[in-house]
Copies of this chain bind each other. A is one copy, B any other.
Amino acid sequence: MCETTIQDMKWMRRANWQNNPTSHLSRTTSIDLTEQLEEKVKFMRLSIEGERDSPHHFIGVGDVELLDACTLLAQSLKLREKYMEMSQQRFHVTTKRHLQGSYGPLRASTSAKGTSRVVQHYHASPNGGDCQRELPYNLDYGSGYADIYEPFNCTPPDDLNYTLKLHHGVVKVYKSEAHELKNEPLYEVKSNMKSFVKDYNVVLSLAAHGPVKTFCFKRLCYLESKFNLHILLNEQNETAAQKAVPHRDFYNVRKVDTHIHGTSSFNQKHLLRFIKKKLKKYPHDKVYQAPDGHIMTLQEVFESLNLNAYDLSTDSLDVHADKNTFHRFDKFNQKYNPLGKSMLRDIFLKTNNYIKGRYFAELIKEVAADLEESKYQSTEPRLSIYGNCRGECDRLADWAINNNVVSPNIRFLIQIPRLYDVYKAKNMVSNFEEIIANTFLPIIEASVNPSSNPNLHKFLNMVVGFDSVDDESKADLTMFNSECPTPDQWTSSKNPPYSYYLYFMYANIAVVNMIRRDRGLNTFSFRPHSGEAGSINHLVTSFLLAEGINHGLLLRKAPALQYLFYLCQVTVAMSPLSNNSLFLDYHRNPLPVFFSRGIPVSLSTDDPMQFHYTKEPLMEEYSIASQVWKMTPCDMCELAMNSVLTSGFERKVKQHWLGKNFEREGTAGNDIRQSNVPNIRIAFRHETLCDELTMVCETAQAAVRSRQTSADNST
């Protein structure tokens, strides 16, 4: 039975679509007449013959196991699709298309012919529309974008006066209180913790399923070898294609620092210079309220520390990670205090302090000025919302608006530290739901009723997503399962588990996004820290709930998850220099392996203050990666392109950076004049992904049919 099923599959034939069957590694020069109008990229392709006839299909995995593995994989892909659609997050269009049964690669000119296999957008949205994040409704400046970016200069929409209510930790939105009484919500997330736990367990068991792990591991090795062979065969052609592009090179392709924390987005020397400048020029600035109520000037602060401007050095500042931070996230966190003094952290690195974050705003604006000057680099710093008191979101928005912290090169993410246990111990909150209320209610309120907090409404125009942060190596003290109390019931002194945090952030972001989409406002992606350390369960959760993740180091220990991340093209913002100081030596970092296998990784700095030395931290990151891992200029431009696609910059901006069709599949979405990535590389990536997806999806369908047949036979 199995044999028939396998023979039934068409993907193997399709996988060979690109090749002259008589030539093993032929340079394809002839173009299939049926696809006459397609611009098939010419390069040396690898094809595998006889796979169909081999008794051991798919590199050592037997038939039954193959069916099982692909069934489970396809099931997981669909689960992610469901969660992405529910929350208006991007789901990769190639994966989506294959899940719908449309197999094989798409090529450049199909859409021109209007065939049924239209070239689709890179990322499709749930409702057939497209949720590539837009510029805020009234900020569409057309082609002149690059010069004008005024997210605060907008006319907010009318207030809707909906009723907001938290139900077991997730916001529901009602048209009025009457609707609430009838329990007829206008917006709610079609999922609850119990149903999520069920889905989570599906992916979790897949990740631990022996045959699936073997299968995925072999596929990943195959992908890696295939890429290496591709490079051996095509490197010269890729280089030639890059040289032929006028003007464009690695220096002037766009790069986004996709993972960086606002409080350390400048290097140690920059902070030092800033502190010295302030101390010299503005010693009498009143900057700090002492516990006794006395307002101290900057000079008094430094006198109390027995320091003067001249004496300060990066050594005494001591904000740089060193040997002692390796596997010591706690020590690393202490480094955020200049000179080891939390008072200085408060003065210089906080948005909410006696000077209302003025110094910190100036620092961020200096970073922005450097980026604007360099022109081709942009950044997505995280700003913290702790969720331990009301009014925090409002204050953050006031900080940004009042200090005019805005730059065309900057978009913000809101990071929420997982610190419930700390606030609970300090009696700042009584249950977990309060943190959610403090964080999300103001954001929804500002989306529903802009006039309730105009500043927050404006500020959200430049927020592109949410991040969840803390030391992942801390073990969860509670199991994540359906027995967990709901947030309103979570009154334990223990911290909820990682996945619990992520689910409730996700669910509320989903509601926020629904409202904002309907109002024509920008929506938010969920891009948590995941897989930096700790349990691989974190990656199971983020696979389902997050549009992209930061770090993802532990994917190297979870082949099934790694393969899923590949199939769904989940973006991973990696920071090898950060890992090198905290968790994993540079030369053991899996980035080059992930990259070879085709996971859309990008390079990010995480914390320039702690890790970097030069004036250009992101370039330092690229430089080291390129040197240590011997990356080609093509590799580096692909990394840069990945960073743009990963980022939350608006469609208009990305079109300006990558070309107007950047959302399309394969080479149709690539403009080498902008990306400096040759079509050869893009075609290789796209065709390889389509082969894998075709194999998985077709096999899964065949399994369904085979079960159908055997059921029919038995009746």
**Bound form: Cα–Cα A642–B630 in Å:** 29
A535 in the interface (beta carbon within 8 A): no
Determine if B580 and A627 form an interchain contact, defined as CB atoms under 8 angstroms apart: yes
Which of A235, A251, A580 has most chain B Cβ within 10 Å? A251
Q: Which residues of B contact A581 (CB under 8 A)?
A: 627
Q: Which residues of the other chain, B, contact A630 by a CB distance below 8 angstroms?
A: 323, 326, 580
Q: Is the CB of A633 within 8 A of B322?
A: yes
Do B624 and A245 have beta carbons less than 8 Å apart? no
**Taking each of A244, A248, A316, which has the highest tally of chain B beta carbons within 10 Å of its own beta carbon?**
A316
Within 8 A of B (CB), among A295-351: 310-316, 318, 320, 322-323, 326
B235, B246, B251, B322: the one within 8 Å of A311 (CB): B246
Jot down 27 A-B pairs with beta carbons below 8 A, ordered by A.
A239-B322, A243-B313, A243-B315, A243-B318, A246-B311, A246-B313, A247-B310, A247-B313, A248-B313, A249-B272, A249-B315, A320-B633, A322-B632, A323-B632, A580-B628, A586-B627, A613-B622, A613-B626, A614-B615, A614-B616, A614-B623, A620-B620, A620-B623, A623-B624, A624-B624, A624-B627, A624-B628
Contact with A627, one of B326, B577, B632 (Cβ below 8 angstroms): B577
Residues of B within 8 A of A244 (CB): 316
A622 to B612, CA, bound (A): 11
New A-B contacts (18) at CB < 8 Å, excluding given A249-B313, A315-B676: A243-B315, A243-B318, A246-B313, A247-B310, A249-B272, A250-B314, A322-B633, A580-B627, A580-B630, A586-B587, A611-B627, A612-B623, A613-B619, A613-B622, A614-B615, A620-B623, A624-B624, A624-B627
Please tell me if the beta carbons of A614 and B624 are within 8 angstroms of each other in the complex: no
Q: Does A175 touch B at the CB level, under 8 Å?
A: no
A269 within 8 A of B: yes
Q: Is the contact region of chain A dominated by helix, strand, or loop, or is it mixed?
A: helix
Give A34-84 interface residues, CB cut-off 8 Å to B: none
Copies, count: 2
- When the two chains form their complex, are residues A323 and B626 in contact, meaning their CB atoms are under 8 A apart? no
Residues from chain B with a CB closer than 8 A to the CB of A326 are: 630
Chain B residue nearest to A252 (CB atoms) is B313
Residues on B with beta carbons closer than 8 Å to the beta carbon of A513: none
CB of A242 closer than 8 Å to a CB of B: yes
A622-B613, A633-B315 in contact; A310/B251 too (CB < 8 A)?
no
Per a CB cutoff under 8 Å, which of B269, B586, B633 touches A628?
A: B586
Interface size class of A (residues with CB under 8 A): 35 or more
| B contact residues around A252 at 8 Å (CB) | 313
Q: Indicate with 1 or 0, residue by residue over A626-642, a CB within 8 angstroms of chain B CB atoms.
A: 11101011000000000
For window 207-244 of A, CB contacts with B under 8 Å fall at 235, 239, 242-244
Docked-complex contact A316 and B243, CB < 8 angstroms: yes
Cβ of A618 to closest chain B Cβ, rounded Å: 10
Q: Which residues from B are CB-within-8-Å of A612?
A: 623
Q: How far is the CB of A156 from chain B (nearest CB, A)?
A: 43
Contact call A615/B616, Cβ cutoff below 8 A: yes
A42 to B311, CA, bound (A): 24
B628:A620 contact, CB within 8 angstroms:
no
**A633: min CB distance to chain B, Å:** 6
CA distance A248 to B250 in the complex (A): 36
**Does A315 lie within 8 Å of B242, measured CB to CB?**
yes
A609 CB, min distance to chain B CBs, angstroms: 14
In the complex, what residues of B have CB within 8 A of residue A577's CB?
627
| Bound-complex Cα distance A252 to B323 (A) | 22
